[in-house]
Structures are given as C-alpha cells and as structure tokens.
Chain A
Amino acid sequence: MKIIAIIPARYGSSRFPGKPIADICGKPMIWWVFNQVSKAESINMVLVATDDLRIKEVCDTFNIPCLMTNEDCKTSTERAFEVANKIHSDLYVVVNGDEPLIDPDIISEVIPKDIPNGIYVGNLMTRIDRPSEVVDFTNIKVVTDEDGNAEFFSRSPIPYPKATLEYEYFKHVGVLIYNYSALEFFSNTKPGKNERVEDINELRFIDHGIKIRMKEVNAHSLSVDTPKDLEFVKKEIERRDETGNCNRLHT
C-alpha cells in the first residue's frame, strides 16, 4: 500500500502571518512537522504543499520536498487533491502544519488495514481534558456513531450532557487520510449546508452522506496558533531529550 503524507502550508494567517516558517531553535516550524511526520511508519514519502514562494524557498534550503500549488485553493483538502493529481498513491495523509511536536506514532494510527473501496476518509480524534477546550470554538468537537464513524463535527460542545455527566468529549485532530476518490469528491463538490455554517471542511463529506472513520488516539501535543504559543513550543523543544537541546540539533 503506497501512502504519501502532505503538509499543507499557507503563508497568510490572520493570527500569525508566516507561521510555517516561524523560527524554532534555528529551524522553521515546517521543518519540525516534517521531521516528525517523516518518522511515522508506513509512510513512503512526505512533502509540503504550498502556494507561496517564500515557503518554497525555505523548504529548498532545508531539503524538504515541496510542491507549489495553486493559490486559489480554498482549503488544504483541495491543495492535497492538486498533489494527488501529480503524484499517484493509494492513500494520502494530510497533516496540519500547526503541531511541531506531533507524535509520529499517532499519525500511523489513521492508516486503515486495507486499501478501501469507494470513497475513503479517515480522521483522528482525542479526548478533551479541560473545560476551556470544550468551550473554545477553535477546537472542533466530534461525535461518533456505534461503528466509529463521525455523526457530526461542531464548534459547539456536543453532545449535550443531559442524561449523564460521565461523558468524555472528543476533539478533531489535524491528521486526515483520503484516497483519490475522496479528494476528487471534495474538490468537485460545493460546500455543504452545515459546512457553510460551522466553517468546518470535513462536514462537506458528512453533509453529502459520506462517512468519515474516526480513530481515537492520545494526542496532546501543543498547537501553535499565535506567536505566544510559539514561545511555549520553543521552551518545550529546548527541554526535550530525543531531539536534544538547541545546541545539539543536527540537520
């Protein structure tokens, strides 16, 4: 089974312009994500997909495979579709470029055992531990059915704890997997009615009756959304043993 991983990287971001190339201990953030994804088992190739020359140049400097894509791409899923049209693969893993310390083992968790028939979409989810995260609208909550497929994604806390308080909430993790048919479907389909309200891309599938397989993992790595988050991550990286501290980093 051939699997490639794509890290979409946009320059523009309202809260943090130029985020993918923000420096963390001498390397751009995108390098850290790339480094982690490259350690994931079963992935044959990792590349960055961007629409900005500044990001392409930084990738070239650090020997990160990088594909230029259309700047009209509205979503990272459509960007991945563009890559899929250039590079053949059985499955495409799309990893959000916001988590420089993402655990490589959890990335592999999204890969199914067999090559699926028809349209296939898979996504990871993790338990929400803090009340603030369940309230926070940037954390996307997900509810699954008895088979483990997503019923709905929302920025509101769902489900409502009416009959029990012993419920663990789950949030969407920015690691998805698609086959070509799924990427094609997404790019050729108009945004779904709930997608337009919630502003959650994955709802395009759900709105059209296509299942998304959810897999629960333990993913509590730090997400960088603002320059302040970046400071946290820098400190965390400086503390870590496996990559060594900043002085001992190797290229």
Chain B
Amino acid sequence: MKMIAVIPARYASTRFPGKPLAEINGKPMLWWVYQKIKHIKEFAGVYCAIDNDRIQDVCAGLNMKYVRTRDDHPDHISRIHEVSEKIEADYYICVNGDEPLITEECIIPVLPIDVVQEPYFGGAMRLLNSPAEAIDPANIKIAVSDTGKCLYMSRIPIPYPKSTLKVPYKKYVGVECFNKKALDFFVQTQMGSIERTEDIDHLRFLENGIDLHFTLVESDSLSVDTKKDLDYVREKINERLREDSIERAIFWGGV
C-alpha cells in the first residue's frame, strides 16, 4: 500500500500573507510540519504542494520535496487532486501547513489499513475543551454516530445539549486522508449548497452520500491564522525543544 503525505502551502492569505514562511525558531513554519512528517515511516514520500516562486525557492533551499501546483485552486482538496494527477499513490494524506504543532499521534491513527474500492475520506478530530473554542466558527465541530460515522460538520456547536450537559464536543484537526477516487469525485462534483453556506469543503462528500470517517486523537495543535497564534506556537515549540531530546534531534538532524 503506497501512502504519500502532502502539505498544501499557499502563499496568499487574507489575514496572514506569506504564512507558510512565517519564521519559527529560525526556520519557516512549513519546515516544522515537513520535518515531523518526514519521520513517519508509513509514508513513501512527503511533498509540499506549493503555488508560488518564493515558497518554491525556500523549499529547494531547505531540501524539502515539492510539487508545483496552480495558484487558482478554490480550495486545498483541489490542490491535492492536482498532486494526485502527477504522483500515483493509494492514499494521499494531507497535513495542514499551518499546524506546526501537529504530532505523529494525530496522524498515525488516521491512516487506513486497507486499500478500498469506493471513494474514501478519513480525518482526525479532537475534543473541544473550552467554551470559547466551541463558539469560535473557525473551529469546525463534528457530530459522529456511535459507530464513528460523521453525521454532520458545522461551525456552530453541534449537537445541542438539550437533555444532557455531558457532551464531548469534537473539532476537526487538520489531518486528512483521501484516495484517488475521493479526490476525483470532489473536483468533478459541484459545490453543495450546504457546503457553500457553512464554507466547509468536506460537506461536498456528505451531501452526496459519501461517508466521512473521523478518528479521535489527542492534540493541542492549533491552526495558525494570526500573528498572535504564531507567538503561541513559537512558545510551544521552544518548550518542546527544551523538554524533549527527540525533538531536538529532529531539529538538528534537519539542518
């Protein structure tokens, strides 16, 4: 079974231009994600999916493999589809380039064990702990059935705690796994109306009857959207470097 990891890294971003190149401890944010994933043995290869000369130069300079993609993709899934047209694999694991705190523990549990025939999507979710996180629409809440099947994803907190307050809210974490059929399906299908309303790409699958499989992981990863998030992440990474010799080995080994 061949699995490759893809890290989409768009230069343009309304709130934070040049985000993937934002500096953390002397290296661009993208590099930290790349290093973490490079060490996962299940992956036959790791590629940054980039759309910009500046990022390409940085990747080349730091020995990070990349695939140059179009800069007019409406969403990251379309970008991964473009990669799948150039590189063949059974599964494409996409890790957000703006979550430098992502760990192996978030990724390995999401990896499928078999090749399947139908379009496949698997993702990661973690528990939502604070009230503010639950209200924040940037956090996508996931409602799953008892068997782990995703019923819906929303920016508003779901499910509603009507008969109990013991509700373990879950939010989407930026680790996704697609097979080629799922990627093909996505780009060949029109945007769903609920997908458009919520602005959540994955709803395109749900709206067309394709299951989404989410696995619960432990993570304190966050998506860096603002300069403030960046400060938080810098702090966390420095902490990890101080405490964990393996982290340091990865850091120095990557130089």
Contacts and interface: CB of A to CB of B under 8 A. Distances in A.
B132 A169 contact: yes
A133 B131 contact: yes
B235 to A, nearest CB: 14
A132 B167 contact: yes
Contacts of A161: 132, 135-136
Q: Which of B130, B162, B164 has the most CB of A within 10 A?
A: B130
Contacts of B169: 131-132
B166 interface: yes
B130 A131 contact: yes
Dominant SS at the B interface? loop
Interface in A14-72: none
A167 B10 CA distance: 31
A115 interface: no
Interface residues of B, number: 18
A167 B161 CA distance: 21
A135 B136 contact: no
Nearest to B160: A135
Contacts, number: 51
B197 to A, nearest CB: 19
Contacts of B161: 132-133, 135-136
A133 B135 contact: no
A132 to B, nearest CB: 4
Contact of B132 (A132, A133, A167): A167
A248 interface: no
Contacts of A124: none
A157 B133 CA distance: 12
Interface string B181-195: 000000000000000
B246 interface: no
B166 A131 contact: no
Contacts of A136: 161-162, 165
Q: Which of B135, B160, B165, B167 has the most CB of A within 10 A?
A: B135
Contacts of A133: 131, 161, 165
Q: Which of A128, A132, A164 has the most CB of B within 10 A?
A: A132
Interface string A127-142: 0111111111000000
Contacts of B160: 135
B223 to A, nearest CB: 12
B157 interface: yes
Contact of A157 (B129, B135, B162, B164): B135
A129 B166 CA distance: 12
A135 B134 contact: yes
Contacts of A157: 131, 135
Interface string B73-116: 00000000000000000000000000000000000000000000
A131 B129 contact: yes
Nearest to A171: B131
A130 to B, nearest CB: 6
A165 interface: yes
Nearest to B161: A132
B128 interface: yes
B165 A169 contact: no
Given A161-B136, A165-B136, A134 B131 contact: yes
A133 B129 CA distance: 12
Interface in A156-185: 157, 160-161, 164-169
Nearest to A161: B132
A169 B134 CA distance: 12
B132 A165 contact: yes
B108 to A, nearest CB: 27
A143 to B, nearest CB: 13
11 contacts: A130-B131, A133-B161, A135-B135, A136-B161, A136-B162, A136-B165, A160-B135, A165-B130, A165-B132, A168-B132, A169-B131
Interface of B: 128-136, 157, 160-162, 164-167, 169
Given A131-B128, A133-B131, 12 more contacts: A129-B131, A131-B129, A131-B130, A131-B167, A132-B161, A132-B167, A133-B165, A134-B134, A165-B130, A165-B133, A167-B132, A168-B132
